[in-house]
Amino acid sequence: MGALVLPQGVVEALDTRRRAFLWAGEEGISGAKCLVNWKRACLPKKDGGLGIRDLRLQNTCLLLKLLHRAHNSPDSAWSCWLQVEFGGPLSAPDNATAGSHWAALRRLLPDYRLLTTVEVGDGRTTAFWYDCWLPSGPLVEAMPSLYTHARHKNASVSDVLSKGLRLAFVSRLSTVAAAELVQLMGLLDGVVLTNTPDVRVCPWEDRLHKLSSSSVYRAVVSNGEGCEYYKFIWENCAPPKVKFFGWLLVQNRIQTKENLLRKHCVDDSVCEVCSLAVESSSHLIAGCPFAAGFWARLGMNISEEDAQQLWHVQPPVHMPTAHFNTFLLLCCWRLWKHRHDVAFRSLSPCYTRLMAGCREDAELWSCRLPHSDRHVSLAWVMVFSSSPPL
């Protein structure tokens, strides 16, 4: 992935396998089993996704790192080879002799230039028109009319300044282009080429000028919106499968009958536990009379509105505040498993069985807490043991 552009068919085949594994654990999958849009699943967890890698974007970021090394590491073997073979990273010919690999890298140059600015030295690896090396930004954007009159649009800064600015353009300039040329001459008055290589500066490079592909990936993939429930879902001590369940729950994507009816998998959406209302995520967790009774036994009052924003629920005074989100997810997880017992094992709704399951999980999860917080798990075991019947 760090050397070649992955063919689109390969990326699609890999994504098909990854989706199938995520949602079904199989080689293939139908759309009905995909509970969340794949693009959303590929968002970072802090933006509401699962943090699954976008293979195409990751491939691009790794290749951008390769381009950065070609421009910014004159001592590397690959950079030296480019210099000897083609005269530098900008000079590879656009024909078959350069190979499809180089053509693919050249197509990434516009993206690479968006990430970098150039401190000009000898000007040999800086594109006169496309790179950001002057305060005005890329000249192709700052002076579009003059650009259309350029003789060699892929010329380097060294090519243009060593041969003279006048020779870089056709003999006749439009009025607008002539005005832009005067402006350009003023910008170039203070530019002096040296014998040192050009240096590309990027916000995502380290002190050794090595580009961090992971930093570029995070910057590009993030939607910048953030996620309200990130800490509630991911910054706790619950097992990964319960965190995954919680991620689906807060988005109303668990396989409730409401969602199954929408996919034409069932004939009705009536709650399996109470048979009184539509079985939505919030109903199952709080609106169902059985669920309401469960929370009441714990000394908590959680409404359907609260169930839609579980990350805002605060612990009652009689419960430990430490790791509260962990054990709140435990309760939701056990309500979900209890629903499965009723729906698929034909068991009757039973608080005793539900509380026993909660106690069992609380004891098992104690090893997931920091050693100094093991007492929190014991406190929750007591909560589940001492809950009086209503």
pLDDT one-digit tens code per residue, 309-351? 999 999 999 899 999 999 999 999 999 999 999 999 999 999 9
| Predicted pLDDT of residue 232 | 96
Helix pair 240-250, 324-344: axis angle to 10 deg: 80
Q: Which residue has the tokens 């060294």?
A: 158
For residue 118, list its beta bridge partners.
Answer: 200
Each residue of 244-264: pLDDT tens digit?
A: 999 999 999 999 999 999 988
For the chain, the distance separating the N- and C-terminal CA atoms, rounded to the nearest angstrom, is 60
pLDDT at 242 over 50: yes
- Per-residue confidence (pLDDT) for residue 95, from 0 to 100: 47
In 3D space, the residue among 108, 103, 72 whose CA is nearest the CA of residue 86 turns out to be 103
Q: Residue 356: how many CB atoms within 10 A of its CB? A: 14
* Predicted local confidence at residue 332, as pLDDT: 98
Phi and psi at residue 43, in whole multiples of 5°?
-70, 155
pLDDT of residue 128: 94
Cα 316 to the center of its chain, rounded Å:
35
Q: List the domain boundaries for the chain.
A: 1-115+210-223, 117-201, 230-386
pLDDT digits (tens, 9 = 90+) for 29-80: 877 788 999 999 999 999 999 999 999 999 999 999 988 888 776 677 767 7
User: What's this model's pTM, rounded to 2 decimal places?
Assistant: 0.84
How far apart are alpha carbons 182 and 191 in whole angstroms?
A: 15
When pLDDT is cut at 50, 70 and 90, the band that residue 217 belongs to is very high
Confidence of residue 388 (pLDDT cuts 50, 70, 90): low
pLDDT in tens, 115-170: 999 999 998 888 999 999 999 899 999 999 999 999 999 899 999 999 888 889 99
**What is the pLDDT at residue 97?**
53
Is pLDDT larger for residue 390 or for residue 89? 89
> What is the mean predicted confidence (pLDDT) over 209-225?
87
Residue in the block written with tokens 């300044």 = 161
Query: Tokens for 128?
Result: 């006169």
pLDDT band at 183 (very low <50, low <70, confident <90, very high): very high
pLDDT-derived band at 88 (thresholds 50, 70, 90) equals low
> Of the given ranges (51-65, 175-189, 190-204, 283-297), which has the lowest mean pLDDT?
190-204
Per residue in 275-298, pLDDT tens? 999 999 999 999 999 999 999 999
What residues are paired with 127 via a beta bridge? Answer: 156
Whole-number pLDDT of residue 96: 45
Instruction: State how far the Cα of 212 lies from the Cα of 109, in Å rounded to an integer.
Output: 17
Tell me the two tokens of residue 162. Answer: 């060593």
pLDDT surpasses 60 at 93: no
Q: pLDDT at position 343, please?
A: 94
Q: What is the pLDDT of residue 19?
A: 93
